């Protein structure tokens, strides 16, 4: 028994081949689009993870600094590190807020100098400045102490700043609720 294909059968085979080619093309386009979307989502997840790590690193250091006194315990008027022990850069020797001024470490370190398991592409930097208690955005000279210091911690990854976190340490309690008429703090002592 021989099979002879009719014109309609041959035409149906041709359409099926065309459908296969179009389907293959569509699957290829969808696959490329899916992989591109996956790559973008992976990079976004990595970026979010790094930013979350940066927030933790900055918060940890800010918390540590805020536990220190406003002034050097022996009341020396020097701004920054005092004495050879503090100048080693190991934070365990720091005993007041401004000892942290210009401190930096890459990779991040624990207070006693132990190096973090994070890679050296991570870095933390600290600056401490006197600020005007009536306008906390106004940085003053190091010799102009009006009772408020701004602590700024910056966390970098691979040379790029991921986060900058600020905190204020004061010599005395400040009323941080702004006056309605001029939007400045009152700086009332308790």
Question: Is the sign of the CA dihedral 33, 37, 38, 39 positive or negative?
Answer: positive
pLDDT band at 102 (very low <50, low <70, confident <90, very high): very high
Mean pLDDT to the nearest integer, 164-168: 95
Check: pTM over 0.75? Answer yes or no. Answer: no
What residues does each domain of the chain span? 42-170
Model confidence over 118-163: pLDDT tens digits? 777 899 999 999 999 989 999 999 889 999 999 999 999 999 999 9
CA-closest candidate to residue 109, choices 49, 65, 57: 57
pLDDT at residue 189, rounded to an integer = 44
Residue-wise pLDDT tens digits, 5-22 = 555 555 555 567 777 788
**Average of per-residue pLDDT values in the chain:** 82
Sequence-ordered strand ranges (E) for 16-121: 104-105
């Amino acid at each position: 028994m021989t099979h002879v294909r009719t014109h309609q059968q041959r035409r149906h085979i041709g359409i099926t081949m065309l459908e296969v080619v179009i389907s293959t093309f569509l699957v290829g386009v969808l696959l490329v689009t899916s992989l591109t979307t996956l790559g973008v989502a992976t990079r976004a997840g990595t970026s979010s993870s790094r930013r979350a790590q940066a927030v933790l690193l900055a918060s940890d250091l800010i918390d540590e600094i805020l536990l220190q006194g406003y002034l050097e315990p022996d009341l020396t008027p020097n701004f920054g590190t005092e004495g050879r022990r503090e100048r080693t850069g190991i934070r365990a020797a720091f005993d007041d807020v401004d000892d942290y001024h210009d401190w930096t470490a890459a990779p991040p370190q624990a207070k006693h100098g132990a190096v973090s398991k994070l890679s050296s592409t991570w870095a933390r930097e600290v600056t401490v400045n006197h600020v005007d208690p009536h306008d906390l955005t106004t940085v003053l000279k190091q010799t102009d102490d009006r009772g408020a210091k701004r602590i700024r911690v910056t966390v970098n990854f691979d040379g790029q700043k991921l986060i900058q976190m600020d905190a204020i340490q004061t010599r005395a309690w400040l009323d941080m609720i702004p006056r309605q008429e001029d939007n400045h703090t009152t700086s009332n002592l308790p």
